[in-house]
Structure formats: structure tokens, C-alpha cells
Chains A and B, each alone.
Chain A
């Protein structure tokens, strides 16, 4: 595989002009400068791992979203929209907005009041050490894999677009991330994530604007897609009545219950990568507003991700294919649609900014994973299981070193990822392994005071184990798909949705069953951790425009309208 990629290095979509190189180099200089500037403000554990818990709602909210908006998102979902049509937008709307609002209004108070450093840390307080150990180890495993995926995506972009050597791309980008996160900790990661968020929009927004002009607006785009592919590609819900009526091979129950109710809830409310950003907020109101602000911007992201994929389907002369076929035929894969569109419209300067946007996306995704990994490793694995009584300075030092080690492991996983045919399917499989069952554990822990430590641990173990088991079952016997995904026509995405659903339900069932036969904690022990025995602090008297509930209703209403418009 590496040899094949090395051969492709001789090809490139574009050549950078000097001004493009200046823009890219300036970006690297700026993110490193921010890291060096902030190193003096990362001396204590609270500073290094939690950014001093003094972020405003806007900073925490944009960082919350940016940590998720990696190059994987940009390239992978643009590719998915070329492959599956507008159905990919479900991952931005029903697959994100309800969960982000739920996090803000229902779950954030418990995370914030408990003053936990991490999601596994909350499990320790609620269910005890075994549950924390299980979730922290699985989370650490997942984050370094995700980080590797981000690296691979970035190296692929730079190889395709610029012809840069894949090893050089991985090395230069990962070393930069390691330096600025190791120096400034979470504060540096958050600062850079906000900068990267702005650059992503500045660099990517021109593609849909120019693309829509070329296509003749939305109606022209739909007409071209109907000619080039099928009219089904531009409908969000109306083709989901049967598995084989839509390009994704999925049923609406999979989208609503698998994606909307389980995977997205699990990801946006329990994946510490994103929750960590909100935990850095300066007060509870900011912590509740941050995910709502993130949700507002999340609804707009399809404009720079999904729309370019659809525009590629409508406008590109070249037919894009799967990764394996692209390598075999020396063609272009789905995942290359965004750089192809970039090369189509962007001349000198704009091209540099577009490439910077992709690099920024990579770095924000990788830095998010690395900073979350560092916190979970230091607090939930190293301090909990290896060295319990060290000084705060020792843990900060461990945090800096684990940043470097985390990046090094990620580099190794980047090369492993190259052997997987579809990046996004792989990520969804990982989510269903770890995140979906974790959601059941956390939500039962927060809302049901009868849930016990044994129930939480065995439920989480059963959910994770069953998810891996179902995945292995289908891999060994593809006909098992009819049982796991309810249809032999279901494709990878659909399988992931249903696997997540079953593992979450099994986790909930086992948690409830075991809890009912084991001894619960007292109300006093659960204070600050569980609904019904916790006093939620008042937000004080603030105007309607400053109330989280008001903005949650606004965002929720826009979400409904968008789904109706693109029905």
C-alpha cells in the first residue's frame, strides 16, 4: 500500500505558488507562536488539563465544535455526500443537534457540578473504579486510533493535492501538534481550535458559493444530480421508507434510533474529546450555552462539507470511486472530492488558504484527541492505577510527556489505518464499540439513582463486548447482517447504526437488571451526581437573550425547519 502511494506521489492536482506556501507557513508559525505564548499559563494541573476552567461560552462552544471538525469530517463527509447524497447531512442534523441540546440542558449540570476532570472521572464518582478503568482504557485506545485516522486523512490530502510525500506530511503536522499541546495544554489546544475553526470557514466557504453559481443555484444542482446519478440523492427523508430505496441502504429507524438516539447521543454527550471543551467553561451558564452555540454552527457545517460533495457529483467530469478501486485504476476516490473542488475554483492565494483549512481541520481533530487522551491517561489511568500520591507538578509533567507519546502512537496507527477501505465506516464502527454503550451507562447514572456500581460496570462491559462481538460475527459470516442490521441489503453505515442501537440497549438492560439485585448508594452519596438528589444552581436573573433554554428552542426550531425544507 505504501509503495502504491509512493508511486502516486509523482502526481498532483495542483502546484502551489509562492503566495500559497507563505500562507501555509504563516499558519504553522502562528499556531506554534500561540503554543509558546501560552506555556506560561499552563503550570498547574487545572491550567494544563482544564484550561483553568475560565473559558467563555463562545470560546468553549467553538472549540467544542472545532475539535470534532477535523479533516476527517471535511474530507470524509464530503466524500460520503458524493457517495450517498444529502443523506450524509443526517450526521450533522439529527445526528448532532438534539444530542448537543440534550447535553447542554440535561447533562451539563451534573458534569459541571461534580467538578470532574473527565467523563471516566464522572463514572468513578458515580459507579466506582472498575467502571472508570474500563471506560478510560477503551477511550484512550479510541483516541489514539482516531488521531491516527486524522493523520492519514491529512497525509492523503497533501499527497493528492500537492504531491507531498506522505511520511513528510505526517511528521511535520504531528510534531507541530505535539509541540503546541505539550507546551500550553488544553488552553493552547482550545485557542488553536478556535483559530482553526475560523480558518476552516474562511478557506472552505468559497467552494459552495462558486459551486452554486456554476451549477445554476440549488435547483440547477438538483437537476444535474438527477441526470448524473439519481433524484434520490437530494432527499433527506422521503427515500428512507425501505432499505433499498436510497443510496445508503438504510431505513429511517436506523437513522432515528441508531444515529439520532444512540450514536449521536453517545458521541456528543459522553465522548470526552468534545465534553472536555465544555468542562473548561467559566461557569454553569457558559457550560450550558457552549453546546448550544456549537449546535447553531453545526447546523451550518453541511454548507461547507455536504454541499461540496453534491456539487462534485453534479459538476465533476471525473467519476469518483472507492478507495481500493481508485488505487487500482489510478483514479480518484470519493474522499478526494473536496480537494478536487478546491483545485477547480481556487487560484493562487485562495488555494493556499483552502489547503490551510484542511491542515487546520487535521490539527484541530488531532489536538482534540491528543489533549483528551493526555487528560484521561494522566488522571484516570496513571494517577488512578499507577501513581496515586504524586504532586500536581508531577502530573503536569506527565501530561506533557504523554502528549508526545500519544502523538507517537498516533503516527503508528496512521499507517494501520491505510489498510482500511473506508475511513468513515471504520470510525462509525469504533463509535459503536465504545461510545454507544457508554451513553447508556452515563445517562442511567445521571437520571436513575437506583443504578448501582456493579450495574454500571457489568452493563458497560456487556454493551462493549456485544458490539465487538456483533462486528466480528458479520465479518466472519456476512449473512449475519440480516440479524444485526435487520436486512441483508443494509450497508456498512446501516450495520453500524443498528449495532450501536443493540449494544446500547443491552448495556441498559444489564445495568438495570444487575442494579435491581445489588445494593444502591445512599442519596447523600449521590448528591451532585444524580437527578433528583442534586440541587441545580440557579442561573440568576438574566434576560431572555442570555438564557440557554431560549437559544435551545431557537436552534431546535431551525433544525426542524431545515429537515422539512430538504425532506
Chain B
């Protein structure tokens, strides 16, 4: 959804997923290197690492594909 040169909603979503994904991935890697004293259940799966990476990749794809000026809505 866009109107004459405006930014697609999917670009905003891409930004959101990319930023959140990078932050979560970074926090996950930090916990991998420096495990906390009190671990969450299933800590051994390191969900933050792979979930953050998935969000960041999807976000990056959306940012690239729906970047302002590409004419996609």
C-alpha cells in the first residue's frame, strides 16, 4: 500500500524485523559466550541466536525488496 512515491508498509516491517533480529541475535550470541546464572527452560537450544538470525534475514530481504524508490507496494 503506497501512494505516489510514499514508503511501502512492507518496508517499515522490514526495518522492524531487521533491527529486532540483529538485537536478538546479538543478545543470543552474548549469552552463548557468557551463560547467565539463571537459565531459561531449554536454554541449551539458544533460541535467541537462530530466531534472531531468521528475523534479521527476513527483515533484510523486505528492506531491500521494498526499499523506497523501487516502486513496489
State the total of A-B contacts with C-beta under 8 angstroms: 98
Contact between B15 and A349, CB atoms less than 8 A apart: no
Contact between A56 and B48, CB atoms less than 8 A apart: no
Interface string of B3-41 (1 = CB under 8 A from A): 100110100110111011001111110110000100111
A6 at the interface (CB under 8 A from B): no
Contact between B55 and A26, CB atoms less than 8 A apart: no
What residues of B have a CB within 8 angstroms of the CB of A350 in the complex?
24, 27-28, 47-48, 51-52
Contact segment of A150-158, A206-214, A229-237, A240-248: A206-214
What residues of A have a CB within 8 angstroms of the CB of B73 in the complex?
56
Contact segment of A104-112, A193-201, A461-469: A193-201
- Measured CA separation A37–B9 after assembly (Å): 11
What residues of A have a CB within 8 angstroms of the CB of B52 in the complex?
349-350
CB distance from A194 to the nearest CB of B (A): 5
Q: Which of A30, A54, A199, A352 contacts B3 (CB 8 A)?
A: A54
- Measured CA separation A519–B47 after assembly (Å): 67
What residues of B have a CB within 8 angstroms of the CB of A534 in the complex?
none
A412 at the interface (CB under 8 A from B): no
Contact between B13 and A195, CB atoms less than 8 A apart: yes
Task: Evaluate whether A349 and B41 lie within 8 angstroms (CB atoms) in the complex, with A26-B20, A198-B17, A199-B16 already known.
Answer: no
What DSSP secondary structure best describes chain B's contact surface? helix
Interface string of A60-82 (1 = CB under 8 A from B): 00000000000000000000000
What residues of A have a CB within 8 angstroms of the CB of B48 in the complex?
347-350
Question: Which residue of chain B has its CB nearest to the CB of A14?
Answer: B40
- Measured CA separation A54–B73 after assembly (Å): 12
CB distance from A299 to the nearest CB of B (A): 22
Contact between B13 and A194, CB atoms less than 8 A apart: yes
Contact between B15 and A30, CB atoms less than 8 A apart: yes
What residues of A have a CB within 8 angstroms of the CB of B1 in the complex?
54-56, 59, 190-191
A346 at the interface (CB under 8 A from B): yes
How many residues does chain B have at the interface if contact means C-beta atoms less than 8 Å apart? 33
Contact between B27 and A349, CB atoms less than 8 A apart: yes
A52 at the interface (CB under 8 A from B): yes
What residues of A have a CB within 8 angstroms of the CB of B13 in the complex?
194-195, 198
A479 at the interface (CB under 8 A from B): no
A353 at the interface (CB under 8 A from B): yes
- Measured CA separation A375–B28 after assembly (Å): 44
Task: Evaluate whether A23 and B23 lie within 8 angstroms (CB atoms) in the complex, with A194-B9, A198-B17 already known.
Answer: yes
Task: Evaluate whether A202 and B20 lie within 8 angstroms (CB atoms) in the complex, with A54-B3, A191-B12 already known.
Answer: yes
Interface centre among B19, B26, B40, B55 (most CB of A within 10 A): B40
Contact between B42 and A23, CB atoms less than 8 A apart: no
CB distance from B55 to the nearest CB of A (A): 6
Task: Evaluate whether A210 and B47 lie within 8 angstroms (CB atoms) in the complex, with A30-B12, A348-B27 already known.
Answer: yes
Contact between B16 and A345, CB atoms less than 8 A apart: no
Q: Which of B16, B17, B27, B41 contacts A19 (CB 8 A)?
A: B27
User: A59-B9, A199-B16 are known contacts; what are 9 more A-B pairs with Cβ within 8 Å?
Assistant: A26-B19, A56-B73, A198-B13, A202-B20, A343-B40, A347-B28, A347-B36, A349-B25, A352-B24
Q: List 22 A-B contacts (CB under 8 A).
A: A19-B23, A52-B3, A55-B1, A59-B1, A195-B9, A195-B12, A198-B17, A199-B16, A199-B20, A202-B55, A206-B51, A210-B42, A214-B41, A347-B28, A347-B31, A347-B36, A349-B28, A349-B52, A350-B24, A350-B28, A352-B23, A353-B24
- Enumerate the 5 nearest inter-chain pairs by beta-carbon distance, A residue then B residue, closest first: A349-B27, A349-B24, A348-B27, A59-B1, A19-B27
